[in-house]
Amino acid sequence: MAVQQFLMMGRAAAGRTIITGQRWVAGDNTQGVTGLGDATDNRTTFAQLGDLETWQNIESPASHPDNRLVVISTGALWVWGRNHSGTLGLGDTTQRTSPVQVGSDTDWLEAATVASASMAVKTDGTLWTWGDASSGQLGSGNTTARSSPAQVGSDTDWSHILSTGLNGDRLFAMNDSGEVYYAGIEFSGLATVSSFTQIGGGDGFSDVVLIGSGLVGYK
């Protein structure tokens, strides 16, 4: 079963499609998350971010508010924000108030950041993580932090990221078979693991939504 490309890191709602165009921002500018070049005042009116017209509406609303990870229509990954624990994937922990491209790869599909860790899926089905690993949440089999993207294992059937917002102690992902995996600190009866481990024996899910510490799957 091939899982569709997701909108807003979740199932596309009826009538919504993936669009490409300019990016306009307003509101919170904590940690420079508007990308407009400063981290001082909140924005009370919309302002265009740069002159790119390749932004997409596929960001996760559950991502951590201090950082932005955005895959544009060309497949490039652009990031900015607080960058604590190296969550931007730029090899350091320096705050960015303007968008910076992560490397030169143009085969990113989805990306999201939680409290202190980030993850992404590429179009070839590989899974990548970076940031804090104190709870094993990067799925690399250890607790070694890293500030640049690194591939997790060798599987090429990953298709979707399930963002957990403020909780950076665990990461979730789904594969083409509709199986759900997690790595990180224990929750709701599941043990702490440092390698991505399937949740239950279920498969065939077309979408899974995280609500608090619970999961709801759809077939």
Looking at residue 163, its pLDDT comes to: 73
Give dist(CA 176, CA 44) in Å, integer. 42
Query: How far is CA 62 from each of CA 161, 163, 184, rounded to the nearest angstrom?
Result: 11, 6, 18
Location of structure tokens 């932004």: 55
Looking at residue 167, its pLDDT comes to: 62
Closest CA to 95 of 17, 29, 39, 20: 39
Domains of the chain: 20-218 (2.130.10.30)
Give dist(CA 92, CA 28) in Å, integer. 24
Looking at residue 214, its pLDDT comes to: 80
Looking at residue 2, its pLDDT comes to: 42
Query: What are the residues facing 113 on neighbouring strands?
Result: 118
Query: Do 70 and 79 touch, CB atoms closer than 8 A?
Result: yes
> Which alpha helices (DSSP H) does 138-207 contain, by range?
none
Give dist(CA 91, CA 48) in Å, integer. 28
Closest CA to 193 of 157, 217, 169, 160: 169
Looking at residue 166, its pLDDT comes to: 57
Q: Going residue by residue through the chain (219 aa), what tens digit of pLDDT does each one get?
A: 344 556 555 555 556 678 899 999 999 998 999 999 999 889 999 999 999 999 988 887 767 788 999 999 999 999 999 999 999 999 999 999 999 999 999 999 999 888 889 999 999 999 999 999 999 999 999 999 999 999 999 999 998 888 765 566 889 999 999 999 999 988 888 899 999 999 988 888 887 877 777 888 888
